Chains A and B, each alone.
Chain A
Amino acid sequence: MKLILHIWRQANAAAPGKMMRYEAAGLSEDMSMLEALDVLNEELIARGEEPVAFEHDCREGICGSCGMMINGVAHGPSRATTTCQLTLRHFRDGQELYLEPWRARAFPVLKDLVVDRAAFDRIVAAGGYVSVPTGSAPDGNAIPVPKDDAERAMDAAACIGCGACVAACPNASAALFTGAKITHLALLPQGQPERHERALRMVAQWNLEGFGSCTNIGECEAVCPKGIGVEVIAAMNRDFLAASWAERDRVHAGA
């Protein structure tokens, strides 16, 4: 199997980039998209050219490292699938594919298809945590969690932070990612003490990173490899509005 790959090549964060055309031959339809790039890179290295840089780690759809626009769709045409899990059988022999990095001011391109997603880490650091007592470990299951809440929290926690939601969003908004992190903790009893503070801080950090606003169109949920829906965005908005209202308590308490 053969693919015509148009790939964004950019030497480093400061250099200008451009689309380059490559022919990747000797592929198998059982290969993943990343393996196709591996094959291409071996050929490039053999020819003495610079291989295509792309991010990858687990290659089993759980780390969130890989991710690129494939013919204008984040992670390619297969729904709820990461780029590493996307097999070539979704494409025709000889098909032309356009591979581009995520595009957002908050995700600067480092090289070729690799972007810096540290902005996501800073959003999580702003409030995506729970306080735990130090000392002896608490008893397991000491805090009862309703089954449905646990399931929904787990659905939100499935977010791997790949950035596809930002990439697909016409506003380059981080609403789905931030919403997933906030919802994941807001549904659990352990997440309650910081719940309001978390919503305020994480939304603020998302904004300070330079991501855009949510316009409720749903392109993010269409590309999310973990199938996270826009419900988490509403849940985040709800927590943020409630927290903004509750902030009055601090105004009165303040010196």
Chain B
Amino acid sequence: MSTSAVAVAGRGGLRFYQTTVGKKAVMAVSGVLLFGFVLVHMAGNLQIYEGPEKLNNYAKLLRSVPALLWGARITLLVMVILHIWSSVQLALLKQSARPVGYVKKETLQASYATRTMYWSGPIVLCFIIYHLLQLTFGAGGTPFQEGDVYSNVVQGFQVIPVSAFYILSMILLGLHLNHGLWSLFQSLGFYHPRYTKRIKGLAAALSALIVAGNISIPISVLAGWVR
């Protein structure tokens, strides 16, 4: 009786990440961590309604332990890279998997959000870059005072194009999350005839919450409620 190990690789020579299912799992895990950040980031930023002192102290608190700050930043950066890298590879695969398209093609049940994932993602990325330039590096062309987050936000959002781009980006982020937040369960192998419906509902509610919470800030600034 042989005691040697099975010699043939189960994946026909493909490693985990080389498979589409592996890439989608990476996309799901990185996506859910990025969503966690977006949720906490919004919750923290809503302290703007409690006045300058509260928000600026919160900003100071976040930077009080450099190891944690950089740990979080590096983790997020790695997640962003994994999320984008896997999606770019799958987008390229999509191109090659159907070299000749249809003369006529109908969409039966794919939602608007799912059909715009490849658009909403890159636009949100552009937004994140500008958002960091504006409010972290002070290079966004709006007034910037290191440490005075409150004034930076208020003065930044008083510029209408900046607010408009912010609101547009949040709506796209909401659409992106509307699909991504339930799709990640499917990618990681969880489907249930009862709970998947609820997960879809929860995903829609959470993405609406993110959009509403975040765009309330530029709207409040433009309306003069926060000054």
Point out residues on A near B: beta carbons under 8 Å.
Answer: 6, 8, 19, 69, 71-73, 98, 100, 103-106, 126, 168, 170-173, 175, 196-197, 200-201, 203-208, 210-219, 221-223, 230-231, 233-244, 247, 250, 253-255
Question: Is the beta-carbon distance between B21 and A230 smaller than 8 angstroms?
Answer: no
| Residues of B contacting A221 in the complex (Cβ-Cβ under 8 angstroms) | 109
Known: A203-B11, A208-B14, A253-B5. A103 touches B100 (CB 8 A): yes
- Can you pick out 18 interface pairs between chain A and chain B where the beta carbons lie within 8 Å of each other? A6-B103, A72-B106, A98-B104, A103-B102, A173-B97, A201-B10, A203-B11, A205-B12, A210-B97, A216-B114, A217-B110, A234-B185, A237-B189, A240-B19, A241-B25, A242-B189, A243-B10, A255-B5
Report Cα–Cα, A21/B20, bound state, in Å. 39
| Interchain nearest-CB distance for A234 vs B (Å) | 3
| Interchain nearest-CB distance for B184 vs A (Å) | 9
| Interchain nearest-CB distance for B19 vs A (Å) | 5
Within 8 A of A (CB), among B74-93: 90, 93
Question: Is the beta-carbon distance between A172 and B97 smaller than 8 angstroms?
Answer: yes
Chain B interface residue number, banded: 35 or more
Question: Is the beta-carbon distance between A173 and B191 smaller than 8 angstroms?
Answer: no
| Interchain nearest-CB distance for B39 vs A (Å) | 21
Is residue B214 contacting chain A, with contact meaning CB distance below 8 A?
no
| Interchain nearest-CB distance for B118 vs A (Å) | 9
Question: Is the beta-carbon distance between B188 and A237 smaller than 8 angstroms?
Answer: yes
Question: Is the beta-carbon distance between B24 and A19 smaller than 8 angstroms?
Answer: no
| Residues of B contacting A253 in the complex (Cβ-Cβ under 8 angstroms) | 5
Is residue B64 contacting chain A, with contact meaning CB distance below 8 A?
no
| Residues of B contacting A196 in the complex (Cβ-Cβ under 8 angstroms) | 10
**Which of A221, A237, A253 neighbours the largest number of chain B CB atoms within 10 Å of its CB?**
A237
| Residues of B contacting A197 in the complex (Cβ-Cβ under 8 angstroms) | 10
| Residues of B contacting A72 in the complex (Cβ-Cβ under 8 angstroms) | 102, 104-106
Question: Is the beta-carbon distance between B25 and A237 smaller than 8 angstroms?
Answer: yes
Question: Is the beta-carbon distance between A170 and B188 smaller than 8 angstroms?
Answer: no
| Residues of B contacting A98 in the complex (Cβ-Cβ under 8 angstroms) | 103-104
| Residues of B contacting A71 in the complex (Cβ-Cβ under 8 angstroms) | 104, 106
| Residues of A contacting B97 in the complex (Cβ-Cβ under 8 angstroms) | 104-106, 171-173, 210-212
| Interchain nearest-CB distance for A220 vs B (Å) | 10
Q: Choose among B4, B93, B186 the residue that contacts A233 (Cβ–Cβ < 8 A).
A: B186
Question: Is the beta-carbon distance between A236 and B21 smaller than 8 angstroms?
Answer: yes
| Residues of B contacting A223 in the complex (Cβ-Cβ under 8 angstroms) | 108
The 10 tightest CB contacts between A and B, nearest first, are A238-B189, A234-B191, A200-B10, A212-B97, A213-B20, A72-B106, A222-B108, A72-B104, A172-B97, A217-B110
| Residues of A contacting B18 in the complex (Cβ-Cβ under 8 angstroms) | 207
**Which of A204, A222, A231 neighbours the largest number of chain B CB atoms within 10 Å of its CB?**
A204
Question: Is the beta-carbon distance between B21 and A241 smaller than 8 angstroms?
Answer: yes
| Interchain nearest-CB distance for A127 vs B (Å) | 9
Query: Which residue in chain A gives the minimum CB-CB distance to B117?
Result: A215
Is residue B101 contacting chain A, with contact meaning CB distance below 8 A?
yes
| Interchain nearest-CB distance for A117 vs B (Å) | 15
Question: Is the beta-carbon distance between B183 and A216 smaller than 8 angstroms?
Answer: yes
Question: Is the beta-carbon distance between A216 and B102 smaller than 8 angstroms?
Answer: no
Query: Which residue in chain A gives the minimum CB-CB distance to B13?
Result: A204
| Residues of A contacting B102 in the complex (Cβ-Cβ under 8 angstroms) | 69, 72, 100, 103
Question: Is the beta-carbon distance between A255 and B110 smaller than 8 angstroms?
Answer: no
Question: Is the beta-carbon distance between B19 and A207 smaller than 8 angstroms?
Answer: yes
Question: Is the beta-carbon distance between B96 and A214 smaller than 8 angstroms?
Answer: no
Given contacts A171-B98, A173-B97, A237-B25, 10 further A-B contacts (CB under 8 A): A103-B102, A104-B98, A170-B115, A204-B12, A206-B20, A207-B19, A213-B90, A215-B117, A235-B191, A241-B25
Question: Is the beta-carbon distance between A168 and B20 smaller than 8 angstroms?
Answer: no
Question: Is the beta-carbon distance between B190 and A238 smaller than 8 angstroms?
Answer: yes
| Residues of B contacting A168 in the complex (Cβ-Cβ under 8 angstroms) | 108
Is residue B193 contacting chain A, with contact meaning CB distance below 8 A?
yes
Question: Is the beta-carbon distance between B103 and A218 smaller than 8 angstroms?
Answer: no
Question: Is the beta-carbon distance between B193 and A171 smaller than 8 angstroms?
Answer: no
Q: Choose among B104, B111, B187 the residue that contacts A237 (Cβ–Cβ < 8 A).
A: B187
Q: Choose among A105, A210, A213 the residue that contacts B23 (Cβ–Cβ < 8 A).
A: A213
Report Cα–Cα, A110/B12, bound state, in Å. 27
**Which of B10, B100, B104, B185 neighbours the largest number of chain A CB atoms within 10 Å of its CB?**
B10
| Interchain nearest-CB distance for A91 vs B (Å) | 14
Known: A72-B105, A207-B20, A223-B108. A212 touches B94 (CB 8 A): yes
